[in-house]
Amino acid sequence: MMKFTVSNYNIKCATASWQLLQKRFNTTTVSTSLQITNNALTLPAAKQQSKHFTVQTKTRTLGKSQGRVVILGSGWAGFRLIRELDKKNYDVSVVSPRNHFVFTPLLASTSVGTLEFRCITEPVRTYSKETNFYQAFCDKIDVKNQVIHCTSNIDADPTKKEEFTLDYDKLVIAVGAYTKTFGIPGVKEYACFLKEVNDARKIRKRLIDCFEYASQPGISDKEKEDRLHFVVVGGGPTGVEFSAELYDFISDDLSRLYPDLMKKTRMTLYDVAPTILGAFDSHLSDYASKKFSRKGIQIKTQRIVDRVEKDHLVIKDEGKVPYGLLVWSTGLTQNPLVESFTSAAKDKSGQRILTDGQLRVIEKESNAPYPNIYALGDCATILDNDLPATAQVASQKAGFLIKNLNAIAKKGYEIPDGKEFKYKNNGIMAYIGSYEALVDMSAWHNWAKMSGHLSWLLWRSAYISKSVSIRNKMLIAYHWFLTFTLGRDISRF
Ligand SMILES: Cc1cc2nc3c(=O)[nH]c(=O)nc-3n(C[C@H](O)[C@H](O)[C@H](O)COP(=O)(O)OP(=O)(O)OC[C@H]3O[C@@H](n4cnc5c(N)ncnc54)[C@H](O)[C@@H]3O)c2cc1C
C-alpha cells in the first residue's frame, strides 16, 4: 500500500490547508499513487474561500515511465480506458462528475422498473484501484501549460464546490454530449431527459405520481385524462425504446393495479421527421410504426414543438396538448467543455471536436493534431469519417486508443501515422415492446434484418453479454425473471 505524503509546503495557512487536504482525501493512508509534491499545494489567501488548490500527480518517481494520463469522463469511452489502460506504465487519473459508468442501452428499462437502477451501473473505483479518481467537472483545458481546471461535484454538500487543477502529460477527452433542446422554451424546466440514472429515477417517480394523483377523490375525468397522457418527443431508438417499456409497464402491471384508469390512459410519440427510427431499414421502422399503432400508441410525425409549459406543450398547427409526463429525446448537443475548448477544431455543426484518424485533437489554427490530446465518443468525430454517436463507436474508439497507448508504453514507439481507426459496424437494435425487437445488421449482409420475438431474444442476449460485470449480468437476469413472473415494483419514494 502506497503512503500518501505531504512535505514542505510553503503556504501561510498550513493548518487550514492540511484540514482541507485531509477532508478531501479523507485519510493519510489511502491506497493511491497520488502525491502532493513540494510547493504544489499553494493556497493564496484570496483563493482560500473558494477552496482552490492544485494537485500534481506523481509520475516518474513512481516508476511510471510514460507520465500522467488524465481521462475526462466515465462513460462508454472513458470507462473502457479506465479498465484497460496500462497502469504499470501510465499514471492514470480520472475526472468525472459521476462516480460510475451507466450501461445506457438498458436505461429505459430502469425508468419503468423492468430492471433496477443498480443493474446498469458500475462504480469507477471498483475498476481503478491503481488510478486516482476525482468526482468533478473539468471546466477548462489549458493546453499551453498542460493543466486542466476542475470543480468538484459532490452531492452531499452542493454549496462547497472545490476548484482544483490537475497536470497532464496526455489528456483523453471523453465527456459525451448533452440532450438537444433546440432552445425551445420550457423544455429544460419541465421535460424529463433520459441520459443518466437520476433521469430514469425521476421518470419512474413521475409516472407513479400521475397514477396516484388520478386515483385521488374529487379529480375530474378531464383532469385524469390530462394527467394520464404520456408524451415522448423524439422518434429515435431512445424515444421508441422508452415508449415500448412504458407500454409494457402500463399493459402488464398498471392495468392490473389501476384498472379503472386504463380507459383514460394514452401515449403519444412526436417527431419532426416523416418517420420514426430513421436509422433503421425502412421495412423495420414501418414494422415498429404498425406495432405501435396497434397498441394504441399514437405516432405523430412532422410535428414541431413550439413551447413547453408545466402541464402542457404547444405543438405547431395542433395547439395545446396536456401531459402528465413528457420525455424529451431529440438528439445531442455539445458538452460545455467542448464549447470552451476554443483552440480545437470542430465539425461542420460546431458541436463535436475534430480529430485525426488516430483520435488526436486537431488544433484549429495550425490544422495539425496535438500530439498528446485525444478525443473520442459522442463529443468528437474524425475528420472526413463522421460516425454515429453510439456506444458502439465510443467503445471501439476507446479500444483503438488503448491498443495504441499500451503499445507506446510497452514497446516505446509511436504508432505509425498510417494506422488509423476503422469502425466495424455490428448492427443496431431496438426494443419495441411486448417481447419484440428490431435487429438491423444490413451493414454485414443485405438480408440480415429481422423483427419479432426472435430479435427480442437476440436483443436481450446481446445486452446481457455486453453488460460489464458478472454481478450485473446476474442482477439483470434476476430482475428480468422477477419482472416476468411477479411484475414490476410500483413503490413511490
Ligand atoms: C437511453 C440511451 C440508450 C442508448 N442505447 C444505445 C444502444 O443501444 N446502442 C448504442 O450503441 N448506443 C446507445 N446509446 C448511445 C450511447 O450511450 C452513447 O453514444 C455513449 O454513451 C457515448 O459514450 P461517451 O463515452 O462518449 O459518453 P457518455 O457515455 O455519455 O459519458 C460521458 C462521461 O463524461 C462525463 N462528463 C460530462 N461532462 C464532463 C466534464 N465537464 N468533465 C469530466 N467529465 C464529464 C459524464 O458524467 C460521463 O461520465 C444510448 C444512449 C442513451 C441515452
pTM above 0.85, yes or no: yes
> Ligand 1 mean position to 76 CA, how many Å?
6
Mean pLDDT of the 230-244 span: 97
The pLDDT value recorded for residue 154 is 86
Q: Which helix (H) or strand (E) holds 463?
A: helix 453-466
Ranking 153-167, 312-326, 471-485 by mean pLDDT, the lowest is 153-167
Predicted confidence at residue 492, as pLDDT, reads: 80
If you average pLDDT over residues 280-291, what whole number do you get? 94
Q: Could you count the other beta carbons within 10 Å of the beta carbon of residue 37?
A: 19
Measured in angstroms, how far is the CA atom of residue 377 from the centroid of ligand 1? 8
Ranges 20-34, 205-219, 311-325, 479-493: which has the least confidence: 20-34
Tell which atom from ligand 1 comes closest to the C-alpha of 463.
8
Selected residue with higher pLDDT from 54 and 172: 172
Residue 273: pLDDT above 80? yes
Atom number of ligand 1 nearest to Cα 195: 53
Element containing residue 231 per DSSP (H, E)? strand 229-233
Residue 3: band (very low, low, confident or very high) from pLDDT cuts 50, 70, 90: very low
User: Ligand 1: which of 180, 378, 424, 466 to mutate, judged by most atoms within 8 Å of the beta carbon?
Assistant: 378
- C-alpha 291: how far from its chain's center? 29
Please give the grid coordinates belonging to residue 338.
467542448
Tell me the DSSP string of 49-112: GGTEEEE----GGGT-TT-EEEEE--SHHHHHHHHHS-TTTSEEEEEESSSEEE-GGGHHHHHT
Proportion of the chain above pLDDT 70, given as a percent: 85
Q: Residue 437 Cα, ligand 1 centroid: separation in angstroms? A: 22
Chain-wide mean pLDDT for the chain?
A: 87
Check residues 389 and 22 and name the one with the higher pLDDT.
389
- Judged against a pLDDT cut of 50, whether residue 9 lies above it is answered with no
CA of 401 to the centre of ligand 1 (A): 17
| 3-state SS record for 258-321 | CHHHHHHCEEEEECCCCCCCCCCCHHHHHHHHHHHHHHCEEEECCCCEEEECCCEEEECCCEEE
Please tell me the distance between residue 103's alpha carbon and the centre of ligand 1 in angstroms. 9
Task: Say yes or no to pLDDT of 58 above 50.
Answer: no
Cβ pair 191, 327 in contact under 8 A: yes
With 90 as the cut, is the pLDDT of residue 155 above it?
no
Q: Which atom of ligand 1 is nearest to the CA of 77?
A: 25
pLDDT-derived band at 53, boundaries 50, 70, 90: low
Kindly give the number of the ligand 1 atom that is closest to the alpha carbon of 73: 34
Q: Which atom of ligand 1 is nearest to the CA of 376?
A: 26
pLDDT at residue 1, as a whole number: 35
Ligand 1 center to 471 CA (angstroms)? 21
Yes or no: say if 111 and 75 are a contact pair by the CB < 8 Å rule: no
pLDDT band (50, 70, 90) for residue 443: confident
Mean pLDDT across 316-325: 95
- Residues within a 6 A CB radius of ligand 1: 72-78, 95-98, 104-105, 107-108, 137-138, 174-176, 194-195, 238, 335, 337, 377-379, 389-392, 394
Task: Assess contact for 182 and 162: CB atoms under 8 A.
Answer: no
Of the candidate ranges 10-19, 28-37, 215-224, 389-398, the one whose mean pLDDT is the lowest: 28-37
Q: What is the residue with the minimal CA distance to atom 6 of ligand 1?
A: 105
CA of 77 to the centre of ligand 1 (A): 8
Nearest CA among 70, 92, 79, 278 for reference residue 176: 79
CA of 373 from ligand 1 middle (Å) equals 20
Q: Which is higher by pLDDT, 422 or 59?
A: 422
Of 175, 201, 245, 426, which is best to mutate to test ligand 1, by the most ligand atoms within 8 angstroms of its C-beta?
Answer: 175
